[in-house]
Amino acid sequence: MQQLLEKLAGLQSQFINFIRIAIFIVMAWIGGLKVCQYEADGIVPFVTNSPFMSFFYANSGKTAIDENGVTGEANKGKEVAEYKLHKNPEGKMVAANIEWHKQNNTYTFSYGLGAFICLIGLLTLLGIWSPKIGLIGGLLTFGMSIVTLSFLITTPEVYVPNLGGDMPTPNYGFPYLSGAGRLVLKDIIMSAGGLIAASDAARRLLAKNK
């Protein structure tokens, strides 16, 4: 057991580099997917409800009448957020919805966001060799994660909705996370990883200046 403890303690710097590699993989993969239609459509609820990002979209804040109950029978004939009427399920292509997203700047914004996310991942990865660059990457990773975690407050879709059915829905709203909400919550791990990477980079920079 003593040998195992000593081995693990001695590998700390390699484990921190593994954090950098892991952040890069996540950022590059998810950022790269932002060029895909389904991924760009999927982030619309997060962006349009965010006080920090909604201005990027042309249709943020707009509402429309849900004439056909697209958002649920309970909302049929009621006014809802316009974006909810133009959701494309992953793997499904609806021409009218795609046209709406083009007018909304959904795809243009997604391309830019994807490039930025990939850049953050690359900066964090380069921290293995350059503490100055790694410091920036780690702090940006932390900052981006905080923005993402704010979706837990601003985005209704992160919680299970009450859509009714043959019997009452027993678990909905806070704290019952939907699939989207569970993905968002995981970013708290990314925020911790960013801070660890930044802290290690700062330690190495201070050591160089001594």
pLDDT at residue 155, rounded to an integer = 95
pLDDT at residue 116, rounded to an integer = 97
Pairing of strands 78-81, 63-66: antiparallel
- Tell me how many degrees the CA angle 34-163-160 measures, rounded to the nearest 5: 50
- Grade residue 44 by pLDDT with cuts at 50, 70 and 90: very high
CA distance 150 to 163: 24
Mind listing the pLDDT tens digit for each residue in 64-112? 998 888 877 777 888 999 999 998 888 888 899 999 999 999 999 999 9
Mind listing the pLDDT tens digit for each residue in 123-168? 999 999 999 999 999 999 999 999 999 999 999 999 998 877 778 8
Over range 12-25, report the average pLDDT. Answer: 96
CA distance 42 to 45: 7
Mind listing the pLDDT tens digit for each residue in 187-203? 999 999 999 999 999 99
Over 90: is that where the pLDDT of 50 sits? yes
Which residue in this structure is represented by tokens 């970013």?
Answer: 187
pLDDT at residue 67, rounded to an integer = 87
Query: What does pTM read for this prediction?
Result: 0.91
Mind listing the pLDDT tens digit for each residue in 165-188? 778 888 989 999 999 999 999 999
